[in-house]
Amino acid sequence: MCGIVGYLGDRIAREALIDGLRRLEYRGYDSAGAAFHDGDRFSVARETGRVENLAGALRESDPQSTLGIAHTRWATHGAVTVANTHPHLSHDGKIALVHNGVIENFADLKRFLMRKGVEFSSETDSEVLCNLIAHHYAKLEGEENRLLEALRKALARCRGAYGIAVLCADQPGLMLGARRGSPLLVGLGEGETFLASDASAFVGRVRDAVYLNDGEIAVLQEDGFRILTMEGEDAQAVTQTIDQTVEDVELGDFESYMEKEIYEQPTALENSILGRFGEDGTTAKLGGLEGHEDTLRQLDRIVFVACGTARHACMVGEYLIERLARVPVEVEHASEFRYRNSPKAGHTMVIAASQSGETLDTLEAVREARIKGLLTIGITNGVGSSLARETDGGVYQRVGPEIGVASTKAFTSQVALCGMLGLALGRMRGLSPMQGREIAEALQALPAQVSSILQHGEALRELAQKYSEAEHLLFLGRQELYPVALEGALKLKEISYAHAEGYPAAELKHGPIALINPECPCIFVVEDGELAGKTIANMQEVKARKGPVLAIAPEAVAIPDEAADDIFRIPSSHDITRPILATIPLQLFAYHFARIRGLDVDKPRNLAKSVTVE
């Protein structure tokens, strides 16, 4: 959730570290700090609030060191204070550390260290780890690879998750990193090396990176780097090219990353589906599933595991895959699946979705599935991510970096890929070539249809203006549009802090209708076909109780004047693609709703982009 940047090179570290932290702001944070190797000591600056506060402090102190580590913190242990802000120094000033994750047994370790006379200045588990490394470092005086051995001994005593960068005052040309459950990678540049929790931190500065696996240590020195196991043995360092560009992570002409990413969706969807259809145009061809065809034909059950927005995409996928492939599908909260003793039923496949590929609960759910011998498939945007490495196969989303905390283009891409998976499975299990071609053509028409909706952004801004004073809103839809209603509600509450809830439209009479009044707008996502009439009847029930109604409806659906106050039209389309088309107006509505309220849509309070802790 937090952000780590470390720099070792032949240039002043300050600029690279601050630039890296700015690139990591999207992950969510509440304070920031940096430590620089300064002779035989460290110079440290820490500030609560935005990275710009830290940048101002460093401009005044002007550190000239070429070795440093920096961090953006999202509070877990301890309040948002300067004392709790990273980097932390050990009590003897020998060790500087930044840490993502949670050390679960930090209280026991802290008591042990306090008995040794260690004094603490913060409430964090991270300072405990820093002092534990210093404790072992002091005991290893005179030994070769002293800092590395101290780190290994300290980590051996820790339970929980971590991604860390460590410096030692005695060793000006050395930086160590280690990971377990929290992402960390080494960026390889000309005359400089980076350590970071996300490749965005060094985009434009390096082209190649090495992703650490769980249980590995990175040793960065002026003459190169090594990757080791926790036992101290050499590990294979697989170099990957970073495909992001500076343009990918810059705002350009947009006012926010969320707005930029909403408007990038035609291109993102085109990239997601490009080259993924069979030569005859009747099926989807997903390279990450190759080699598993026999298992896929025999499937008795599919279980999706995901969190938040990704779970909503999987819920749409449940409807699509069951309809196309006639395979029973379940969607689990990853955080629940990992602790359940879910029965193993026949041939089961587990599909995990995570934009970053580093969501801890989703990764743990995958690990649990693999223990049970189940086929695991990942859907992720994170090339080289833990999810990509730990599943048996999978599909990359290829939508480019998603910086905004509130996911937009990653959601629609995940839904499109679920549709393609449903098409591929359906063709294996009885879907006719004619039906397959119809679905493939519908998916290929998506980018142009999304573009046509985005051209009406001003109309959605006006609708958001009309309803912007509402503090309670309901979002309702049926079948595959029910998860779209959930996602619309989530987007609104994430960035505007208004209370919003999503429900199946037919559930209106089973409780939520008690909330209807003139101050509680209802946003209906309307189906095509016979179900449209049932949803319109629900709208009329709301109107009868003086509730405002906004309908998102296909062009071909006739809606009586008395059933809605406002109607926003989307293109009529195939059932398989309608969930994506219906999502676009809800994203824009939420975006303008929050902007009209004067809120920062890219950095909503209390939220982080990638949740890498429990």
d(CA 322, CA 299) in angstroms, rounded, equals 12
Residue pair 307/333 in contact by the 8 Å Cβ criterion: yes
Q: Hey, is 559 helix, strand or coil?
A: coil
Task: Tell the residue number behind the tokens 């209106």, with chain if given.
Answer: 508
Tokens of residue 375, six digits:
């086929």
Active-site pick, 260, 409, 491, 609: 609
Q: Catalytic residue at 2?
A: yes
3-state SS, one letter per residue, for 149-194: HHHHHHHHCCCEEEEEEEEECCEEEEEEEEEEECCCEEEECCCEEE
d(CA 241, CA 329) in angstroms, rounded, equals 36
d(CA 154, CA 132) in angstroms, rounded, equals 6
d(CA 478, CA 499) in angstroms, rounded, equals 21
Active-site pick, 2, 307, 418, 520: 2
Q: Hey, is 413 helix, strand or coil?
A: helix
d(CA 156, CA 164) in angstroms, rounded, equals 14
Task: Tell the residue number behind the tokens 């700090």, with chain if given.
Answer: 33
3-state SS, one letter per residue, for 252-304: CCCCCHHHHHHHCHHHHHHHHHCCCECCCCCCECCHHHCCCHHHHHCCCEEEE
Residue pair 418/400 in contact by the 8 Å Cβ criterion: no
Q: Is 299 exposed, middle or buried (0-12, 13-18, 19+ CB in 10 A)?
A: buried
Q: Catalytic residue at 139?
A: no
Q: Hey, is 554 helix, strand or coil?
A: strand
Q: How far apart are the first and last CA of the chain?
A: 10
Tokens of residue 286, six digits:
């997903």
User: How do 88-89 and 95-103 pair as beta strands?
Assistant: antiparallel
Tell me the catalytic residues. 2, 609
